[in-house]
Amino acid sequence: MKMVEQVIYEMLVENTGQAMCDSGGTYGRHHEKNRGKTLADFRNEPEVMVESADCYTISLFHYLTQQLDRDRICDEFDRINKAAKDWNDDRFYGVSAKAGEYLDYAGQDLKIRDGFNSYNGQSSLSQVIQGTYISLRGKDYLILQIHGGCDVRGGYTDARLFLMPYGTEGYLQIEDVCGIQKSVYQGLPMLPGIPEPCPRYCSNQYDGYTLRWDNQDGRTGLELTDEEIATCVFSLSIDC
């Protein structure tokens, strides 16, 4: 059974070809930018890259690998769908008729839920994803494609199937980011009689987008300045 990190990595470097809507390919495709990266490169990249309080990028690799898992149904679905020549099951994004038949057979109680494309919302993910949430045998799964092209209207990977054992009721979590302020005394000897200050915490959970200091009195916190951002370490709220 393939590990989830390996499958996500294969999708990130998958050659999704060229599309007529790519504007001649003048500004690059994601799979071309990712081609020289190793699995270790994706593991070692920051979970969140912050430029300003309202401009940050969430690593798609970390976002997905922290929430998804694999089982033998996923492996068999991927094998069938990868061998297909057409995505002709119109119930799902990027799924062949044979792979769709496998889901009907394997699931017996297959339930098709919501489909989505992250481009249609206010997303800070490093690449666009689209997919369909389903249930099989009482478990939650995600049929997923990653956009590896240039123009978002084309250039998606083959669909892969993932188990969703975590998260909230079988859906990917919203893109919550959190941060912790590094201590001003970090790496320095403690001074007698001067306690180390408690770090401050920040998040984007006030409006889902802007990074602000948490405020204990319940009011909206103050937006972080560029200078304050430089004092913080950021991660996905899955880890906080």
Report yes or no on 169 lying in a domain. Answer: no
C-alpha 12/C-alpha 73 separation (Å) is 21
Number of alpha carbons in the 13 Å side-chain half-sphere of residue 44: 5
Residues 37 and 145 occupy one common structural domain: yes
Residues 147 and 180 occupy one common structural domain: no
Residues 97-113: tens digit of each pLDDT: 999 999 998 867 899 99
- Least confident piece of the model among 28-32, 125-129, 216-220, 233-237: 216-220
Report yes or no on 152 lying in a domain. Answer: yes
Q: What is the pTM of this model?
A: 0.86
Report yes or no on 170 lying in a domain. Answer: no
Residue 149 backbone class (left: φ over 0; alpha: ψ -120 to 50; beta: rest): beta
Residue 42: which residues within 8 A CB-CB, separation 6 or more?
8, 9, 12, 59, 61
Q: Give the mean model confidence (pLDDT) for residues 159-168.
A: 90
Residues 184 and 157 occupy one common structural domain: no
With bands split at pLDDT 50, 70 and 90, how would you rate the model's confidence at 221?
Answer: confident
Q: What pLDDT, on the 0 to 100 scale, is given for residue 184?
A: 54
Q: Would you call 70 helix, strand, or coil by DSSP?
A: coil
* pLDDT above 70 for 22: no
Residues 42 and 81 occupy one common structural domain: yes
Whole-number Cα distances in Å, 236 to 73, 199, 233, 240: 28, 18, 11, 7
* pLDDT above 80 for 197: no
Residues 111 and 201 occupy one common structural domain: no
Residues 184 and 89 occupy one common structural domain: no
Residues 159 and 180 occupy one common structural domain: no
Question: Both tokens of residue 8?
Answer: 């996500």
Number of alpha carbons in the 13 Å side-chain half-sphere of residue 73: 24
Residues 136 and 18 occupy one common structural domain: yes
Percent of the chain with pLDDT over 70: 78
Q: What pLDDT, on the 0 to 100 scale, is given for residue 119?
A: 83
Q: Is 106 exposed, middle or buried (0-12, 13-18, 19+ CB in 10 A)?
A: middle
The parent domain of residue 33 ranges over 4-163
**Number of domains the chain contains:** 2
Residues 229-240: tens digit of each pLDDT: 998 989 997 555
In the listed set 163, 184, 201, which residue is the last one of a domain according to the structure? 163
Residues 137-160: tens digit of each pLDDT: 889 999 999 987 666 766 789 999
C-alpha 63/C-alpha 69 separation (Å) is 12
- Least confident piece of the model among 5-9, 119-123, 178-182, 189-193: 189-193
Report yes or no on 214 lying in a domain. Answer: yes
Q: Would you call 43 helix, strand, or coil by DSSP?
A: helix
Residues 155 and 183 occupy one common structural domain: no
Report yes or no on 147 lying in a domain. Answer: yes
Report yes or no on 77 lying in a domain. Answer: yes
Residue 77: name the closest of 66, 65, 89 by CA. Answer: 89
Report yes or no on 145 lying in a domain. Answer: yes
Question: Both tokens of residue 64?
Answer: 């997905």
Residues 99 and 182 occupy one common structural domain: no
Residue 159: which residues within 8 A CB-CB, separation 6 or more?
81, 87, 92, 93, 94, 95, 99, 131, 143, 144, 145
Residues 44-100: tens digit of each pLDDT: 999 999 999 999 999 999 999 999 999 999 999 999 999 988 889 999 989 999 999
Report yes or no on 52 lying in a domain. Answer: yes
